[in-house]
Amino acid sequence: MKEKRGLETMLVHAGEPRPRIARAVVTPIFQSSTFAMDGDVGHQDLQYARLSNTPSHQALHEKLAAVEGGEAALVTASGMAAISSVLLSLLRPGDHVVAVEGLYGTTHDLLVHDLSELGIEHTFVAGDDPGAWERAWRPRTKVFYTETMTNPLLRVADLPGIAAFARARGATSVIDNTFASPVQFRPIGHGFDVVVHSATKYLNGHSDVIAGAVIGRASLVASAKRKLDRLGGSLDPHACFLLHRGLRTLSIRVRHQAQTAAALARALEAHPGVARVHHPGLPSHADHDRARALLTGFGGMLSFEPRGGLEAASRFLGRLVLGVDAPSLGGPETLVTLPSRTSHKGLDPVVRRSLGIADELVRVSVGLETAEDLVADFAQALEP
């Protein structure tokens, strides 16, 4: 039986090769696409970078499985490679997905367009309405898909309820844990079958790599890997090294970002130039009580609507000094974007607004700056 370790200890030590390779404290970059064979082996036993089984990959797989509490893990070339390989491994033509409304724009598009073209249907439901889940359920519903905190409104669904609901009906529960990271929520401990991440974001944390991750039951991860092997979305060795590097500081980064995001959210809510702030740490947030019960922190993300509409939002972006107007999230610098122009631009504007994503909504990924400096920068940028 393995000795139980704390999260921070596992982030540093889990998956590290023992004995150390050439006595190197940091796991080396194995910049090799292929590895010498030792006799006749099966296809899945070949060491080849596309098969995600080089020493660079294996170290990450062990670390990610440990920190999320899963049996196995898989790293991929992007978050969407992780999501698509999981869903394509679980679904066949004629199957049906129930998904929480308000998902990340590209995930929404994958369900609405790409999977629909394959004959896979979907129904979007409120994350806190079991009656709606029941009405949406069909004999061929195979997957219940959700996010820990939705992008960009930070809604928190009844996550344990979703996992239990899917399991009772023989379906697979899949959750995107990117916004919370395992520092603030560990879905497998709440009954979820598969966890996916855009590892580009908090897991890497340095805005310098694109990657994804799948963690969960060994059989489900193996199925996603077989799909990924054929689709080719493997992570290259240098990106593996960067992700490995980022994971070691995940906990300290996320906790700092969450603390700063809470301070910024409170300041924005009190600002006369702001109409509404979306952050689960605020008592005014619709899911505050649920988030407080489920999460060990409220994350480094928030969004808000400035008074004055899209013109005011554009003016705000142009005045920022510390905040960078750029998509993505989870890096050391504060990133600020309009989802209507970036992450959710592909959605029909009517659908986007029906989800509560106003054209002027500003999404903020809080970085590692001093909280007081960020609050001051946002205040000056919001001046009329």
Q: Comparing 47-56, 93-102, 210-219, which segment has the lowest mean pLDDT?
A: 47-56
pLDDT for 1 equals 35
pLDDT for 59 equals 94
Q: What share of the chain in percent tops pLDDT 70?
A: 97
Domain 250-381 carries which CATH code?
3.90.1150.10
DSSP codes, 22-88: GG-SSPPP---SB----SS--GGGS-BGGGT-SHHHHHHHHHHHHHHT-SEEEEESSHHHHHHHHHH
- For 20-62, what is each residue's pLDDT tens digit? 887 888 888 888 888 888 776 665 678 887 888 999 999 999 9
pLDDT band at 129 (very low <50, low <70, confident <90, very high): very high
Mean pLDDT of 175-195: 98
**Residue of 128, 175, 101, 96 whose CA lies nearest to 352:** 101
Mean pLDDT of 120-142: 98
Residue 152 and residue 16: Cα distance in Å, rounded?
Answer: 35
- Catalytic residue annotation: 50, 104, 176, 201
In single-letter form, the type of residue at position 78 comes to S
| pLDDT of 2 above 60 | no
pLDDT averaged over the chain?
95
Name the residue ranges covered by the structural domains of the chain: 7-247, 250-381
pLDDT for 344 equals 85
Which residue's structure tokens are 């090769």?
17
Q: How many Cβ atoms from other residues are within 10 Å of residue 24's Cβ?
A: 9
Residue 125 and residue 111: Cα distance in Å, rounded?
Answer: 13
pLDDT band at 345 (very low <50, low <70, confident <90, very high): confident
Indicate the pTM of the whole model. 0.94
- For 275-325, what is each residue's pLDDT tens digit? 999 999 999 999 999 999 999 999 999 999 999 999 999 999 999 999 999
Q: How many Cβ atoms from other residues are within 10 Å of residue 122's Cβ?
A: 20
7-247 is classed in which CATH architecture?
3-Layer(aba) Sandwich (3.40)
**Residue of 138, 143, 155, 142 whose CA lies nearest to 101:** 155
